[in-house]
Amino acid sequence: MVYYFITGTSSGIGLALTQQLLGQKDAYVIGYSRRNAINHSRYKHIEVDFSQPGSAREVEIPEYRNAKHIVLINNAGILGDVKPIGKIDNELLEKTFMVNTISPAILTNRLLSAYLPISDSIIVINISSGAARHAVESWSGYCASKAAIDMFSMVLHAEQQLIDNRKVRVISVAPGIVDTPMQDSVRQVDPSYFPQSERFHQYKQKGLLAPSEQVAKKIVELIGNPPNDPIIDLRTI
Ligand SMILES: NC(=O)c1ccc[n+]([C@@H]2O[C@H](COP(=O)([O-])OP(=O)(O)OC[C@H]3O[C@@H](n4cnc5c(N)ncnc54)[C@H](OP(=O)(O)O)[C@@H]3O)[C@@H](O)[C@H]2O)c1
């Protein structure tokens, strides 16, 4: 059995990923989000709000003593408040880093601590963004919180290069522009706060958004054949 710990399983990419993985008979998925959308004999849902301080420290990480192969997919993410710096809601800014950076970092730390001594392989997939790698006006919290998870992944990758029989692989994946509720929320932002608003409306109108099922399929393929480079843009593969 391969044990998949996936955050943000209730919609978009995380939901599509979970549905595809549950199609594999040797997959067991532990999913984390505030809502649950999946009912399956090999799915365990854990309700959690990662925007709350302490949530990632305290949330249950079930320990399966027979688990030889573990995959953690830090997928839960929020766009946060889309406004120029100086006008951002401070509470939302804090929540953006809680969900996009602090929770995935703590979950990775806890999962490695629990499973390194007993498992043969651990793959960590952090769902990043193209916005981690170039600046988007009014997305400072989102861009910076995703850039931080890219660097967290690069440090874990560098640490693993020092280990002869390394068990851990890590990939920080920018999924492209994907047709999910997050993109719906991008198009709902007041254009007076968001200079690139029209570009995102055009993506939808011109049918340029990738379906979440297609993106999930590519991520499943990455898990099966993890690349050496820890920073990946799914649009290039
Ligand atoms: N869609 C895109 O174009 C795009 C592009 C680049 C990167 N990404 C990244 O892809 C990932 C998935 O996004 P998506 O597009 O699939 O968005 P989505 O449909 O909005 O899904 C986000 C998921 O994260 C969970 N989540 C959000 N806030 C949470 C919280 N406070 N606590 C626990 N779970 C929380 C949601 O569950 P609940 O609401 O039930 O808690 C939901 O399952 C994100 O990391 C996003 O940044 C998306």
Per-residue model confidence (pLDDT) at position 2: 97
The answer to whether the CB of 49 is under 6 A from ligand 1 is yes
What band does 75 get if pLDDT is binned at 50, 70 and 90? very high
The answer to whether the CB of 181 is under 6 A from ligand 1 is yes
Give me ligand 1 centre to Cα 74, in Å.
Answer: 10
Answer yes or no: is pLDDT of 164 > 90.
no
Alpha-carbon distance 181 to 77, whole Å?
Answer: 11
Give me ligand 1 centre to Cα 164, in Å.
Answer: 35
Number of neighbouring beta carbons within 10 Å of residue 224:
8
Domain boundaries, position 126: 2-176+212-236
In a domain, 143, yes or no: yes
- CATH number for the domain that contains residue 221: 3.40.50.720
Per-residue model confidence (pLDDT) at position 165: 86
In a domain, 220, yes or no: yes
Tell me the three-class secondary structure of 97-112, residue by residue. HHHHHHHHHHHHHHHH
Answer yes or no: is pLDDT of 138 > 90.
yes
In a domain, 153, yes or no: yes
207-226 mean pLDDT: 97
Ligand 1 pocket check: which of 43, 91, 133, 182 to mutate, most ligand atoms within 8 Å of Cβ? 182
C-alpha distances in Å from residue 180, one per residue of 13, 86, 167, 211, 212: 7, 29, 33, 8, 7
Answer yes or no: is pLDDT of 172 > 90.
yes
Give me ligand 1 centre to Cα 99, in Å.
Answer: 9
Q: What global pTM score does this model have? A: 0.98
Number of neighbouring beta carbons within 10 Å of residue 38:
17
pLDDT, tens digit (0-9, with 9 covering 90-100), for 31-54: 999 999 999 999 999 999 999 999
In a domain, 181, yes or no: no
In a domain, 190, yes or no: no
The pair of structure tokens assigned to 14 is 């995380």
Number of domains in the chain: 1
Answer yes or no: is pLDDT of 17 > 90.
yes
The percent of residues above 90 in pLDDT, for the chain, comes to 99
Instruction: Please name the residue whose Cα sits nearest to atom 6 of ligand 1.
Output: 129
The answer to whether the CB of 76 is under 6 A from ligand 1 is yes
- Cβ atoms of 104 and 7 closer than 8 Å: yes
96-101 mean pLDDT: 98
Alpha-carbon distance 58 to 181, whole Å?
Answer: 28
Give me ligand 1 centre to Cα 78, in Å.
Answer: 6
In a domain, 195, yes or no: no
When the pLDDT of each residue in the chain is averaged and rounded to a whole number, the result is 97
In a domain, 188, yes or no: no
Give me ligand 1 centre to Cα 151, in Å.
Answer: 20
Write out the H or E segment, with its range, that includes residue 181: helix 181-187
15-20 mean pLDDT: 98
In a domain, 205, yes or no: no
Per-residue model confidence (pLDDT) at position 127: 98
Q: Could you tell me how far CA 34 lies from the centroid of its own chain?
A: 15
Side by side, the strands of the sheet bearing 43-47 are 43-47, 27-33, 2-7, 69-74, 121-127, 168-174, 231-233
Per-residue model confidence (pLDDT) at position 237: 86
